[in-house]
Amino acid sequence: MKEALKTQLEQEAKTLSRAKVKRALLDKLADSYDFAVPQGMVDLEYRDIWQQIKRDAVMSGEATESELADKDEPESEEDRADYRNIAERRVRLGLLLSELGLANKVEINRDELMRRVADEARRYPGQEREVFEFYTKNEQAMAQLRAPLYEDKVVDFILEMADLKDTEISLEDLRKAVREDDEEEENQAKDAKKSATKKTAAKKPAAKKASEKKPAEKKAAEKKAPAKKAAAKKPAAKKAAPKKAASKDDSKS
């Protein structure tokens, strides 16, 4: 029993450590490399980010599909700029990781991909066969699984080559550090959903008085109040690399 518990704690520490190091690595790469990226890829990633935000809002019950059907992008100019910056970062990281992988002959073999499919199928007890068939018969869905798998493999390669310095830390402190990162991402995701579901407030037109209103006064009374400005923060940017580039997170951790 003690041996099993020890093994479990060691595995947890290893998983948390890797998550923390991966986040730091992606941040470092993003800060160190600045190059132009194809606008078409940024546009596609931007749309994917917004569609994911809308899906999350529907799944959480904060909005219905019909309510969000006509919302092709955030109403706030600030939100649009933030999400486009995130999309550009993801595309740049994806291209960078893809280039590093190609240059160093990093590849995903079929066995690794099938293990990832099996892992995904196990997330849906009772529907394993249907999920497995969905991925094996759908190239686009398979590519979505392959992208984060490829990213992880490139990250592992970089970490193996890097000169890393070990730092002693208690498991509890490590848990806290990773939890804080996760909570920050969760809060950003919640703020992003608010951007998708917020309603535009408008004043009702003033009631008309038979013949006492002048034309100019009528026009002023019927003007709507300006829409409220969104206060949404950015969604998490550390995700898997874009599907096309890595074939996030970015990465999606």
Residue 37 has pLDDT above 90, yes or no: yes
Write down the residue that tokens 């994911």 correspond to: 52
Three-state secondary structure readout of 197-209: HCCCCCCCCCCCC
What residue type is assigned to position 232 of the chain?
A
Domain that holds residue 45: 10-199+234-246
For the cut 70, the answer to whether the pLDDT of residue 34 exceeds it is yes
- Round to whole Å and give the CA distance between 100 and 60: 37
d(CA 61, CA 56): 9
CA angle 144, 91, 121 (to 5 degrees): 15
Q: Is 204 a member of any domain?
A: no
The mean predicted confidence, pLDDT, of the chain is 75
Q: What are phi and psi of 221, to 5 degrees?
A: -70, -30
CA 171 vs CA 14, 57, 185: distances in Å: 10, 34, 21
User: What confidence tier does 99 reach under pLDDT thresholds 50, 70, 90?
Assistant: very high
Handedness of CA 19, 25, 27, 33 (dihedral sign): negative
pLDDT at 143 over 70: yes
pLDDT at position 223: 44
Q: Is 3 domain-assigned?
A: no
Helix (H, G, I), strand (E, B) or coil at 218: helix
Please say whether the beta carbons of 188 and 235 come within 8 A.
Answer: yes
Please give the pLDDT value at position 200: 39
What pLDDT sits at residue 174? 82
Question: Is 57 among the domain residues?
Answer: yes
pLDDT score of 162 = 78
For residue 93, the domain's CATH number is 1.10.3120.10
pLDDT digits (tens, 9 = 90+) for 172-222: 888 888 887 776 665 555 555 565 666 533 434 444 444 444 444 444 444
- Unique residue bearing structure tokens 């969104």: 230
Q: Is residue 31 part of a domain?
A: yes
Inside any domain, residue 224:
no
Domain assignment present for 215: no
Give a yes or no: residue 164 inside a domain. yes
Say how far apart CA 116 and CA 146 lie, in whole Å.
8
What per-residue confidence (pLDDT) applies to 19?
85
**Per-residue model confidence as pLDDT tens digits over 52-96:** 888 777 777 777 777 777 777 777 788 888 889 999 999 999 999
Of 36 and 185, the one with more pLDDT: 36
pLDDT at 214: 45
What integer pLDDT is reported at residue 184 of this predicted model?
Answer: 66
Q: Which of 186, 177, 190, 191 is nearest to 78 (CA)?
A: 191
- Answer whether residue 213 is part of any domain: no
CB 147, CB 251: distance < 8 Å: yes
Taking residues 38-62, report their average pLDDT: 85
Is the pLDDT assigned to residue 224 strictly greater than 50? no
As for how many domains the chain has, the answer is: 1
CA distance 119 to 64: 30
